[in-house]
């Protein structure tokens, strides 16, 4: 279970002071404008394509690598989700998890391109190299995810470094929250857009309350919608009370047909996390 870290008022105030506070949800930084301005489509409607774990590279997934980021950008992606973990010496790097053993920062850099480690087969990024990528690609946005227990602290450190070292504006950085409390914290910190990942949500009321904050999208595993995890009871169905107040994204998606089936149950779906599907421009009438 994720342990929520209480961020001191001083740290929060410093972060808020360093980013532009939002005053309206009508400009093009916020959902759904951030979706429609890209002019990508799926199932006949505007859709956001998110490169999951940086996106696929050849037949590899979950590489969290500069290789995958570059390939995904070439393929039309402009939103990139990455997973971050701390090394044994507390540096933040791009890797899904440490299932193959925790490394120091020096070991992490030395062991890249390890064919025996499926999570380090390519050039995994770190905050510095990721900042260089974002600085070079000014229309790219970053979605932050982590399995660390101190997720807010990790996200605030990444954001602070990207701002101070590379000039990346906070409206290009989107934290993923795993609770209503985290969502409120990121909103108080001034992040224009937030994604609430609800597979750990306690109840439908929390999801609805997060949606009311504005600038919040909801994401859930597509198998929840296609399988039996999406309950018909309106008290427990997290999508039943959302209406059109916030978009829903699903993950991971590999087949367009799955999206069409999911839309029949949850018409609010407006985005997919994917490794290998490519963004599409709308078909001309």
pLDDT tens-digit map of 46-68: 999 999 999 999 999 999 999 99
What CATH superfamily is the domain 25-274? Phosphatidylinositol (PI) phosphodiesterase (3.20.20.190)
pLDDT tens-digit map of 150-199: 999 999 999 999 999 999 999 999 999 999 999 999 999 999 999 999 88
Both structure tokens of 190: 């001034």
Bridge partners of residue 188, in order along the sequence: none
Mean pLDDT of 235-253: 85
3-state SS of 91-149 is CEEECCCCCCCCCCHHHHHHCCCCCCCCCCCCCECEHHHHHHHHHHCCCCEEEEEECCC
pLDDT tens-digit map of 76-103: 999 999 999 999 999 999 999 999 999 9
Domain boundaries, the chain: 25-274
Find the range with the poorest average confidence among 105-109, 165-169, 223-227, 232-236. Answer: 232-236
Q: Is the pLDDT of residue 10 over 70?
A: no
Residue 201's pLDDT band (boundaries 50, 70, 90)? confident
pLDDT, position 234: 55
């Amino acid at each position: 279970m994720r342990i929520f870290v209480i961020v001191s008022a001083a740290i929060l105030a410093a972060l808020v002071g360093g980013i532009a506070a939002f005053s309206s949800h009508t400009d093009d930084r916020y959902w759904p404008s951030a979706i429609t301005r890209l002019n990508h489509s799926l199932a006949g409607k505007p859709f956001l394509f998110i490169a999951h774990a940086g996106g696929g590279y050849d037949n590899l997934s979950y590489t969290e690598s500069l290789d995958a980021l570059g390939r995904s950008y070439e393929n039309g992606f402009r939103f990139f989700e990455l997973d971050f973990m701390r090394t044994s010496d507390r540096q933040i790097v791009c890797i899904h998890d440490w299932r193959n053993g925790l490394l120091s920062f020096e070991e992490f850099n030395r062991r890249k391109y390890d064919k025996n480690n499926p999570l380090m087969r390519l050039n995994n990024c770190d905050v510095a190299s990721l900042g260089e990528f974002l600085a070079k690609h000014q229309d790219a946005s970053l979605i932050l995810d982590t399995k660390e227990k101190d997720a807010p602290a990790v996200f605030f450190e990444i954001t602070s470094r990207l701002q101070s070292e590379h000039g990346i504006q906070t409206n290009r950085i989107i934290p993923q929250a795993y609770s209503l409390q985290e969502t409120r914290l990121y909103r108080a910190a001034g992040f224009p857009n937030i994604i609430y990942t609800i597979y750990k949500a306690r109840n439908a009321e929390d999801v609805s309350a997060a949606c009311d904050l504005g600038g919040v999208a909801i994401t859930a595993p597509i198998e929840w919608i296609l399988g039996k995890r999406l309950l018909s009871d309106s008290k427990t169905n997290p999508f039943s009370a959302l209406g059109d107040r916030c978009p829903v994204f699903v993950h991971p998606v590999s087949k367009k047909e799955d999206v069409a089936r999911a839309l029949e149950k949850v018409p609010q779906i407006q985005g997919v996390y994917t490794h290998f599907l490519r963004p599409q421009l709308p078909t001309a009438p």
